[in-house]
Amino acid sequence: MDPKKLLYMKSVVEHGSFRKAAKELQLSQPALCSSMDRLEASLGVKLLERGPMGVIPTSAGELLYSRAWFIQDEMDVAEKQILEDRCGIPRRLTVGAIVSLVANVVPRAVCKWRAQYPSVPLRIFENAHPELLVGLQRTELDFIIAQTGCFENVEGIKQRVLFRDRLVVLCRPNHPALRGLIAWPELIKYPWVTHLVGRNISPVEQVTFDEGVSVPNQLSECNSVSFMITMIENSDNLGMLPEHAVATELLEGRLVALPITSRILSRDIAVFFRERSLLDAPRRSFIDCVAEAGARLDRAARAVRH
């Protein structure tokens, strides 16, 4: 398949018109129509339909259009990188991370990395897994730091485990749960606050499914560690966060970690990147700093616990 024809089709879909697309592409309209006919013939499917509202893609055309976006994005990124390299401008490092890692692990990694690369532009985004994956696929992010189990078998995406961390179940001091039987069937009777790990999937739902108990009747979902901490400190809400993310609150006695376990509470944190992406020295160093910071924080949390 000729990638140029994909970009031609992308222009036709976006303009909804062969005439306007031909003008943008600086082609004659008959030449553009002929090119699209050959593309459809090579695939054996109809890609574009002419209607009263203009040219619209078929279902097969929609699929191909999404791929054309990736090709255009990669070309734009490559062009930008070539221009920056030619002008001696350091390439911006753009990293995505899940919210539970941005509170502690990522800032520590940045501090160490900055000592080695003080002049490389850096941009950090925090979000839930699905949005991060979309940003990675669109080349808006160089790589993302997230837990495994959400991105397996995504075409064109590779992963490497960096460290292992542990979630703890949290409550405020004097919470009624501390006075009773601490077991999953009892804990789900309380309200919970949680962050999301996948599209409409929370750690609480993962644990309850794995433990064979029902989901709490009252479940508040958010995308903020600080929101969760405030909710847990000031109400009967329970929540799950990485131990290193609440180390200060646990040490000061503002939060209490309940003595309960589940295999879901241990998770692998990995870097996810596009299969053919170029990870230069600053990017490889950043990944190493994240791995080191995460492992160190997890060891420190375990030492305090034991």
Helices 3-15 and 29-43: crossing angle in degrees, nearest 10, is 120
Residue 304's pLDDT band (cuts 50, 70, 90)? low
In the predicted structure, residue 13 carries a pLDDT above the cut 90: no
Angle, vertex CA 171, rays to CA 166 and CA 173, nearest 5: 125
284: left (phi over 0), alpha (psi -120 to 50) or beta: alpha
More confident residue, 254 or 200: 254
pLDDT tens, residue by residue, 241-278: 999 889 889 989 999 999 998 888 888 999 999 987 88
Pick the closest to residue 190 from 180, 202, 200 (CA basis): 180
CATH number for the domain running over 3-86:
1.10.10.10
More confident residue, 84 or 94: 94
Q: State the CATH class of domain 92-306.
A: alpha beta
Residue 88's pLDDT band (cuts 50, 70, 90)? low
Q: Which of 66-75, 138-147, 290-299 has the lowest average pLDDT?
A: 66-75
Q: Where are the alpha helices (DSSP H) in 44-141?
A: 59-87, 99-102, 105-116, 129-137
Could you tell me whether strands 256-257 and 157-171 are parallel, antiparallel, or unpaired per DSSP bridges? antiparallel
- Tell me the sheet residues that pair with 57: 48
Residue 138 has what pLDDT? 83
Per-residue pLDDT, averaged over 38-62, amounts to: 85
More confident residue, 284 or 223: 284
Gap between the Cα atoms of 294 and 67, Å rounded:
35
Tally the residues of the chain: 306
Domains of the chain by residue range: 3-86, 92-306
Instruction: Provide the CA 178 distance to its chain's centre, in angstroms.
Output: 35
Residue 200's pLDDT band (cuts 50, 70, 90)? low
For residue 256, give the 3-state DSSP assignment.
Answer: strand
Residue 89's pLDDT band (cuts 50, 70, 90)? low
Residue 271 has what pLDDT? 95
Structure tokens at 302: 């375990």
Residue 10's pLDDT band (cuts 50, 70, 90)? confident
Structure tokens at 18: 């062969």
Per-residue pLDDT, averaged over 54-70, amounts to: 82
Cα Rg, the chain, nearest whole Å: 25
pLDDT tens, residue by residue, 180-194: 889 999 999 999 998
More confident residue, 198 or 15: 15
Per-residue pLDDT, averaged over 103-109, amounts to: 93
Per-residue pLDDT, averaged over 278-306, amounts to: 86
Average pLDDT of the chain, as a whole number: 87
The percent of residues in the chain predicted with pLDDT above 90, rounded, is: 38
Residue 240 has what pLDDT? 92
